[in-house]
């Protein structure tokens, strides 16, 4: 089945995980004249075809579809397996192997020697990430007198050492964590499947002091503790919190910040929210910007989603997202740095806030879409093939 048929069938909707299906391999035909054969080890669910919808909390489902579409349009027949498929053994020759970081080493040693191996890296290097994550938890313990297991650990992997090329979702910071490997590196933009109306008609006088913290698991890793402490000392400002507050793995964090999360007049805790819902659209119009002082990411899909919704991003460089002149790139994630940035942004004229919000929205719509991802991926593959042929 050609990828464009899959896209039409599913309308770019994501599929629900079923662990028993991880072991399947799906072959997708090349479009036009066949140029070669590729193996992709990432997310197999979108290609299995039962029509069920799945968790829309991560972009890697859409990335998988776009990777395969890019390859088939370039003339490659593609075998798709899941990165969790520990039993897969190649039974034919491949020109290209694209793999998530945790699967590359095991499969790569079984491939033909002339196969080009491309590591798909959607996080900062595991050593940087894990060291940063533990520092955040140590800082939280020192400030709060509480220990919490609220981090994003990345499994040890040696994909940068084994791969021929590195495809990295992120900015220059993210790429910098892999520079030691001295491999060709290619930047990819995180794609988001959702579109929202322009923020141009938002009342920025009304929303100038209302901010959103929006993220997935690893609340301390992603700086919610910092945001809560800052807003608790800014009673004239409002913070809305959207994330997996109710998750069992965040219970220690929630216990440590129970007062701020549930008993602070200027902090509204919503919990998990569906970004495709009208509720999220209404929520985005209540806020001027996103506060996201993360310790480490590849490129944050949460930040990009909020930019698509017209929010002004206030982010750490470690979020992996470039915010140019429309956003605030925090020089560090100290409490006073975050507090000062929040106050300064709120004091800007409504027209200046409107300009920032519209530019954020426009940037996301031009750089962080499935079409942009597809085009960049095809450019990357052509560059890799050209480099290999020299």
Question: Is the domain of 40 the same as that of 181?
Answer: yes
User: Helix count (H) and strand count (E) of the chain?
Assistant: 15, 13
Q: Confirm whether 242 is domain-assigned.
A: yes
Q: Confirm whether 143 is domain-assigned.
A: no
Question: Is the domain of 259 the same as that of 159?
Answer: no
Q: What CATH number does residue 314 fall under? A: 3.40.50.2000
pLDDT at 53: 43
3-state helix, strand, coil in the chain (%, to 5): 40, 15, 40
**How many CB atoms are located within 10 Å of the residue 186 CB?**
17
Q: Is the dihedral of CA 55, 60, 65, 68 positive or negative?
A: negative
Angle at 245 (CA atoms; ends 332, 365), nearest 5 degrees: 60
pLDDT at 61: 84
Q: Confirm whether 94 is domain-assigned.
A: yes
Q: Confirm whether 139 is domain-assigned.
A: no
> What contacts 389, CB < 8 A, 6 or more positions away?
none
The DSSP code sequence of 107-173 is: HHTTS-TTPEEEEEE-SS-HHHHHHHHHHHHHHHHHHHS-------------HHHH-SEEEEES-HH
pLDDT at 343: 98
The DSSP code sequence of 181-202 is: G---EEEEPPP-------GGGS
Could you tell me the residue range of the domain that residue 355 belongs to? 199-367
Q: What CATH number does residue 38 fall under? A: 3.40.50
Question: Is the domain of 272 the same as that of 334?
Answer: yes
Question: Is the domain of 301 the same as that of 178?
Answer: no
Angle at 35 (CA atoms; ends 30, 38), nearest 5 degrees: 65
Angle at 350 (CA atoms; ends 345, 356), nearest 5 degrees: 60
Q: Confirm whether 145 is domain-assigned.
A: no
Q: Confirm whether 301 is domain-assigned.
A: yes
- The rounded distance, in Å, linking the Cα atoms of 373 and 251 is 36
- The rounded distance, in Å, linking the Cα atoms of 291 and 267 is 13
Q: Confirm whether 132 is domain-assigned.
A: no
pLDDT at 55: 40
Question: Is the domain of 341 the same as that of 265?
Answer: yes
- The rounded distance, in Å, linking the Cα atoms of 13 and 65 is 10
Question: Is the domain of 163 the same as that of 235?
Answer: no
Phi, psi of 19 (to 5 degrees): -55, -35
- The rounded distance, in Å, linking the Cα atoms of 4 and 345 is 44
* Rg from Cα positions in the chain: 21
Query: Which residue, 116, 239, 220, 119, is CA-closest to 168?
Result: 119
Q: Is the dihedral of CA 314, 319, 324, 329 positive or negative?
A: positive
Question: Is the domain of 230 the same as that of 311?
Answer: yes
Number of domains in the chain: 2
Lookup: tokens for 367: 């750089």
Question: Is the domain of 275 the same as that of 212?
Answer: yes
Q: Specify whether the CB–CB gap between 243 and 219 falls below 8 A.
A: yes
Q: Residue-wise pLDDT tens for the chain (390 aa)?
A: 444 444 443 343 334 445 566 788 999 999 999 999 999 999 888 888 654 443 454 677 889 999 999 999 999 999 999 998 988 999 999 999 999 998 899 999 999 999 999 999 999 999 999 999 999 999 999 999 999 999 999 999 999 999 999 999 999 999 999 999 999 999 999 998 889 999 999 999 999 999 999 999 999 999 999 999 999 999 999 999 999 999 999 999 999 999 999 999 999 999 999 999 999 999 999 999 999 999 999 999 999 999 999 999 999 999 999 999 999 999 999 999 999 999 999 999 999 999 999 999 999 999 999 999 999 999 999 999 998 877
Output the pTM of the full model: 0.91
pLDDT at 11: 40
Question: Is the domain of 341 the same as that of 373?
Answer: no
Question: Is the domain of 227 the same as that of 352?
Answer: yes
Question: Is the domain of 60 the same as that of 184?
Answer: yes
Lookup: tokens for 208: 């100038």
Rounded to the nearest 10 degrees, what angle do helices 350-367 and 301-308 cross at? 120
Q: Confirm whether 136 is domain-assigned.
A: no
Residue in the block written with tokens 């709120």: 346
Question: Is the domain of 99 the same as that of 229?
Answer: no
């Amino acid at each position: 089945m050609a990828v464009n048929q899959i896209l039409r069938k599913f309308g770019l909707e994501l599929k629900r995980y079923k662990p028993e299906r991880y072991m399947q391999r799906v072959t997708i035909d090349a479009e036009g004249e066949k140029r070669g054969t590729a193996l992709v080890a990432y997310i197999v669910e979108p290609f299995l075809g039962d029509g069920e919808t799945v968790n829309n909390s991560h972009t890697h489902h859409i990335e998988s579809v776009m990777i395969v579409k890019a390859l088939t349009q370039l003339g490659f027949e593609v075998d798709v397996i899941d990165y969790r498929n520990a039993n897969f053994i190649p039974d034919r020759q491949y020109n290209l192997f694209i793999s998530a970081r945790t699967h590359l080493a095991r499969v790569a040693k079984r491939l033909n020697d002339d196969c080009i191996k491309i590591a798909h890296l959607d996080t900062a290097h595991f050593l940087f990430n894990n060291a940063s994550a533990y520092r955040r938890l140590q800082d939280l313990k020192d400030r709060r007198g509480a220990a919490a297991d609220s981090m994003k650990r990345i499994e040890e992997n040696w994909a940068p050492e084994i791969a021929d090329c590195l495809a990295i979702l992120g900015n220059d910071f993210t790429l910098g964590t892999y520079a030691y490997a001295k491999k060709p590196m290619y930047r990819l933009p995180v794609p988001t499947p959702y579109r929202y109306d322009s923020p141009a008609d938002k009342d920025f006088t009304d929303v100038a002091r209302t901010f959103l913290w929006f993220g997935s698991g690893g609340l301390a890793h992603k700086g919610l503790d910092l945001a809560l402490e800052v807003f608790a000392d800014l009673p004239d400002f409002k913070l809305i919190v959207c994330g997996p507050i109710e998750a069992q793995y965040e219970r220690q964090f929630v216990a440590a910040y129970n007062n701020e999360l549930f008993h602070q007049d200027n902090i509204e805790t919503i919990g998990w929210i569906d970004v495709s819902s009208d509720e999220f659209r209404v929520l985005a119009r209540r806020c001027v910007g996103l506060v996201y002082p993360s310790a480490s990411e590849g490129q944050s899909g949460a930040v990009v989603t909020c930019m698509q919704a017209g929010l002004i991003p206030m982010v750490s460089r470690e979020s992996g997202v470039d915010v140019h002149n429309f956003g605030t790139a925090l020089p560090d994630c100290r409490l006073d740095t975050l507090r000062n940035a929040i106050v300064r942004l709120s004091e800007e004229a409504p027209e200046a806030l409107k300009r920032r919000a519209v530019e954020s929205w426009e940037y996301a719509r031009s750089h962080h879409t499935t079409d942009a991802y597809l085009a960049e991926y095809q450019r990357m593959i052509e560059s890799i093939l050209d480099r290999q042929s020299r």
